[in-house]
Amino acid sequence: MIRIMMRSSRWFASAVVVAVLAACGGGGGGSAGETKSFIYDIAPPTASPQDDADASRFLAQATFGPTLDEINRLKSAGFDAWMLDQMNRGYASHVQMLDRRVMLDPEKEQPERDWVQDSFWREAIDARAQLRHRVAFALSQIFVISMNDGDVSRYPLGVASYLDMLNRNAFGNYRTLLEEVTLHPMMGIYLTHIGNQKEDPATNRTADENYAREVLQLFSIGVVELAIDGTPVLDPQGVPVETYTNDDVTGLAKVFTGLSWGGGDTSRGRFMGWESANRKEILPMQGYPQYHSMAEKRFLGATLPAGSDDVLYEVRAALDVIAGHPNVGPFIGKQLIQRLVTSNPSPAYIARVATVFNDNGHGERGDLAAVVRAILYDPEARDQAVALQPGWGKIREPILRLTNWARASRAQSKSDMYKIGRTTDPASSLGQAIFYSPSVFNFYRPGYVAPNTPAGMAGLLSPEMQITDESSVAGYLNTMRSVVKNGAGSGSPRDVQMDYYREWVPLAADPAELVQRVNLLLLHGQMSNDMRIRLIEAVDSVNLNRSNAQQVEEARLNRVRLALFLTLASAEYLTQK
């Protein structure tokens, strides 16, 4: 048996506990794909939304955009029943979707990389398991891989599998998620620990440190020690205390040696990727003892003694130590708050979420279902008065703007494939597409402060502003102007078409009623009176007194298009409150 030895540390006790669990085969968080019952002690401020606007605002945080049907469903069921239904609702596999497209296209032997995008759009716009997909999308921006990396982009099926893995773990345990991220071959390729070999003094080879550094910096604890409310811990000189040193990274890097492609034997050919298992890109990486460092490994106050070639045991023991660090709750909790609710949560908000991360009320650490519940039910998330305070809320990221429009407009794909594809070009599209971030730091850093802006001068974080400039603003407006009129995606007519006639066009004769519907579904009842007046005037300027019925119908449709586009272009809409 391998013992894990701890040096003095303020989190000694928790690390010992997880190490003991690992030694007993616990793994810290359950097995992959494990079903769980969702036990909730955290109550929403009210049993049900107060009104349609309250329901719409909640759904803006918990889904890819409210719809009339979902508003009514939430009001009828209440928060708890809706949440439980969402967490237990079945969901589609992105791998199966890519397989299906290959089967339907006799000219294709392998999936195309943009099919991953299409599969994401399909679930974001049309799936009923909205909460799961929204949380998985948030996780994809923390545990980042990117098809901007040419080696990753070679494996669309692997990327689809990675998204399936995030979906599967969205309401699972953080420790399980961390292990599945670590062992996924797409992460192995992206952060270069697939095929990572042990040190060799004869050739001056050292273990690759890339994943060891990023798993600490970005996926778990961050670079400075945090109090439970997310504020930095300071030394006597008032300087933030670092969470790890380069020596910690060096020690941890040795843990992640000897991992490579899954698929059976542990031959040199399979380790190097010369021999391929069927669909190796969706198989978890496996251990190759002959390539694993047997040196002593010191990191984060823990020591793995020398002499072991049990790769997966040491990986799991190290992940137990990382997942047990007290920084994880505030560090991960804050980022999930930022992705779902507000860029600048108060320390008290972070502390409440981190407390639930540390213990869900039933002795489980890292229960993401409980964390998501704590985030969405927190008084700061639900209190309308808080939402209206200056500096509260978040910039709607471009992907959410498109899905919000699509869901509010009952958009459907003619092909059922949602052929929207890549939307990365900021000059001609959205400037954002899942799994196409420019680096492991995502499209924007969670701590980004926009320079030379009122928000920046006030010290407010605005992560999404990092991809906002003259080019992206113009690109977004041109894109949405075209989408609102013509639909989204490829083809002529475009593959994803809206249904304005079902719920929107019947309101067009009354500009005030039409604007009120826009207010409900896009602004969640928060439209200012000034904007309401201006929007009604703009809609009313489209004359319905036409010479024939066809022209009248086209004018009604133009009123809808104008109301939607002007709202999607407005500063009030672009800030989710």
Residues 420 and 488: beta-carbon distance below 8 Å: yes
Q: Which residues contact 206 (CB under 8 A, 6 or more apart)?
A: 199, 250, 253
Report the C-alpha gap between 195 and 266 in whole angstroms: 12
514: its two tokens: 């039409």
Residues 365 and 357: beta-carbon distance below 8 Å: yes
Write the burial class of residue 540 (CB in 10 Å: 0-12 exposed, 13-18 middle, 19+ buried). middle
Report the C-alpha gap between 222 and 325 in whole angstroms: 11
Q: How many CA atoms lie within 13 A of 61 on its CB side?
A: 28
Nearest Cα neighbor of 125 from 419, 493, 431, 418 is 418
Residues 223 and 242: beta-carbon distance below 8 Å: yes
332: its two tokens: 């991960």
**What is the CA angle 83-84-86, rounded to 5?**
65
Nearest Cα neighbor of 219 from 313, 328, 115 is 328
- DSSP run (H or E) holding 502: helix 500-503
Per the DSSP assignment, residues forming a β-bridge with 299 are: 302
Peptide linkage before 451 cis (omega within 30 of 0): no
What per-residue confidence (pLDDT) applies to 276? 82
Per the DSSP assignment, residues forming a β-bridge with 110 are: none
Count of CB atoms situated within 10 Å of the CB of 307? 9
426: its two tokens: 């900021």
Report the C-alpha gap between 318 and 333 in whole angstroms: 21
Nearest Cα neighbor of 175 from 325, 314, 56 is 325
Report the C-alpha gap between 141 and 138 in whole angstroms: 5
Q: What is the dihedral of CA 97, 98, 104, 107, to 10 degrees?
A: 170
What per-residue confidence (pLDDT) applies to 106? 86
**What is the CA angle 52-55-58, rounded to 5?**
150
Report the C-alpha gap between 183 and 364 in whole angstroms: 23
pLDDT by residue, tens only, the chain of 577 residues: 344 554 433 343 333 333 323 333 333 333 334 445 665 678 898 999 999 999 999 999 999 999 999 999 999 999 999 999 999 999 999 999 999 999 999 899 999 999 999 999 999 999 999 999 999 999 999 999 999 999 999 999 999 999 999 999 999 999 999 999 999 999 999 999 999 999 999 999 999 999 999 999 999 999 999 999 999 999 999 999 999 999 999 999 999 999 999 998 999 999 999 988 889 999 999 999 999 999 999 999 999 999 999 999 999 999 999 999 999 999 999 999 999 999 999 999 999 999 999 999 999 999 999 999 999 999 999 999 999 898 999 999 999 999 999 999 999 999 999 999 999 999 999 999 999 999 999 999 999 999 999 999 999 999 999 999 999 999 999 999 999 999 999 999 999 999 999 999 999 999 999 999 999 999 999 999 999 999 999 999 999 999 899 999 999 999 999 999 999 999 999 999 9
289: its two tokens: 């003892």
Report the C-alpha gap between 431 and 398 in whole angstroms: 7
Residues 259 and 288: beta-carbon distance below 8 Å: yes
Count Cβ neighbours within 10 Å for each residue of 192-216 and write b for 16 or more, e otherwise: bbbbbbbbeeeeeebbbbbbbbbbb
Nearest Cα neighbor of 321 from 220, 184, 211 is 220
Residues 260 and 273: beta-carbon distance below 8 Å: yes
Count of CB atoms situated within 10 Å of the CB of 37? 8
Q: Which residues contact 566 (CB under 8 A, 6 or more apart)?
A: 535, 538
What per-residue confidence (pLDDT) applies to 21? 30
Count of CB atoms situated within 10 Å of the CB of 303? 16
Please write down the HEC assignment for all residues of 424-453: CCCCCCCCCCCCCCCCCCCCCCCCCCCCCC
What per-residue confidence (pLDDT) applies to 443? 97
